């Protein structure tokens, strides 16, 4: 055989062939050498046969059983059809049920639901597997497909691809058995004409005013009657027994003795002592002389007391002295001595005694000056 010149590589059907460059002309025509052409044709046919064989379902492995059930077997156009696929395989086998495309043959796929075989079998009308089947089957796999067809006739739902993997890792591609479904028309048999539209229902447009007015009047009467009965038979709450008002001078006296007993100046709380003492004295003046002391200065309080009958200059001076001393401690940060503290407490007690004398002299009773003026009016 003659030595060929430099070769070039040509890729054909996944194989590399060496074709002499002198036998390949421009334009991609077949080689002129008959031997090379026959080798190329033989290898192409071999590759096509291998691909065709791989696309065909392979025989099932022993012990693997695939069943297909359909419910209902006869349906109307557009009705949902459930196709159940049940696979029984020995333990250790891997089963993969491939999801079909959205349109398979004459059917439109709505849903693909992997699930337990028992539920699909009962739903599809196939019944529960027998005890013998349960004993033989080590593992069960299932899937359910929801589909519909939109034309009449008998159609075949094609098989669904299934991949079986044995314990050794060898994968086998097969498919479920196809099933036939009869699709009927939604029209009755022999009825090929279109039906007329139903007549439009008449809805009364007038509002029934009389029943509405009567209902409103009845509701108003019932409400009025309920209000009258509740008002008539409602129990009037009994007034709480009035408690006698406490004598403000007795309360002031109790507060004064309590303040003296606390010994606040000895405990370093001198300002607090004079603040409380000032409030007690003002409370005595309000109760005895009927004047307002809240938020008023000492000068304003003394102006209100000026000209009171039975309240001479000496008593007014005692009141002014106590109030001024309280103001010095509260506002001027004055620190009085112990004797001054005792004298302030004694003068407050003297003001309380004078207030009682004033009330007795004014009306022969415990009436205050304000109450006396109101009685005269």
Task: Indicate the helix (H) or strand (E) that contains 103.
Answer: strand 103-104
The predicted structure's pLDDT at residue 21 = 46
Q: Is 97 within 8 Å of 114 (Cβ atoms)?
A: yes
Taken in order 338, 341, 346, 349, the sign of the CA dihedral is negative
The predicted structure's pLDDT at residue 219 = 92
The predicted structure's pLDDT at residue 10 = 39
Both tokens of 101, joined, read 């495309």
282: preceding bond cis by omega (within 30 degrees): no
CA distances from 38 to 1, 16, 42, 43 (A): 18, 15, 6, 9
Q: Where do the structural domains in the chain lie, given as residue ranges?
A: 1-44, 65-184, 248-376
The predicted structure's pLDDT at residue 240 = 53
| Number of C-beta neighbours around residue 91 at 10 A | 9
pLDDT along the chain (377 residues), means of 10: 41 41 46 63 66 52 82 88 89 85 82 62 44 58 89 88 86 88 78 68 71 89 88 65 70 88 90 91 88 87 81 86 89 88 89 87 55 43
Query: Which CATH number applies to 65-184: 1.10.15, 2.40.70, 2.60.40, 2.30.30?
Result: 2.60.40
CA distances from 24 to 15, 16, 36, 132, 179 (A): 18, 15, 11, 68, 53
């Amino acid at each position: 055989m003659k030595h060929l010149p430099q070769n070039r590589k040509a890729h054909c059907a996944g194989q590399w062939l060496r074709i002499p460059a002198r036998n390949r002309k421009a334009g991609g025509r077949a080689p002129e050498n008959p031997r090379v052409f026959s080798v190329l044709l033989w290898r192409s046919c071999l590759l096509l046969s291998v691909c065709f064989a791989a696309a065909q379902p392979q025989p099932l492995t022993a012990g693997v059983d695939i069943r297909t059930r359909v419910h209902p077997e006869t349906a109307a156009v557009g009705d949902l059809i459930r196709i159940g696929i049940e696979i029984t395989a020995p333990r250790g086998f891997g089963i993969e049920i491939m999801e079909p495309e959205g349109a398979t043959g004459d059917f439109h796929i709505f849903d693909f639901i992997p699930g337990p075989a028992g539920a699909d079998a009962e739903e599809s009308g196939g019944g529960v597997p027998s005890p013998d089947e349960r004993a033989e089957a080590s593992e069960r796999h299932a899937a359910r497909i929801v589909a519909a067809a939109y034309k009449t006739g008998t159609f075949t739902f094609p098989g669904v691809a299934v991949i079986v993997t044995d314990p050794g890792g060898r994968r086998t591609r097969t498919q479920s058995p196809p099933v036939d479904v009869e699709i009927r028309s939604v029209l009755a048999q022999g009825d090929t004409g279109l039906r007329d539209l139903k007549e439009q229902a008449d809805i009364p447009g007038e509002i029934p005013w009389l029943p509405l007015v009567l209902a409103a009047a009845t509701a108003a009467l019932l409400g009025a009657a309920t209000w009258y009965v509740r008002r008539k038979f409602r129990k009037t709450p009994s007034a709480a027994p009035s408690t006698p008002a406490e004598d403000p001078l007795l309360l002031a006296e109790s507060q004064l003795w309590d303040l003296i007993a606390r010994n606040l100046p000895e405990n370093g709380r001198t300002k607090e002592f004079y603040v409380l003492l000032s409030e007690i004295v003002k409370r005595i003046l309000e109760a005895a002389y009927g004047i307002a002391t809240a938020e008023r200065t000492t000068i304003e309080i003394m102006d209100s007391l000026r000209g009171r009958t039975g309240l001479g200059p000496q008593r007014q001076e005692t009141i002014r002295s106590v109030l001024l001393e309280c103001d010095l401690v509260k506002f001027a940060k004055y620190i009085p001595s112990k004797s001054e503290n005792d004298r302030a407490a004694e003068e407050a007690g003297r003001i309380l005694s004078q207030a009682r004398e004033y009330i007795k002299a004014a009306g022969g009773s415990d009436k205050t000056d304000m109450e006396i003026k109101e009685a005269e009016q």
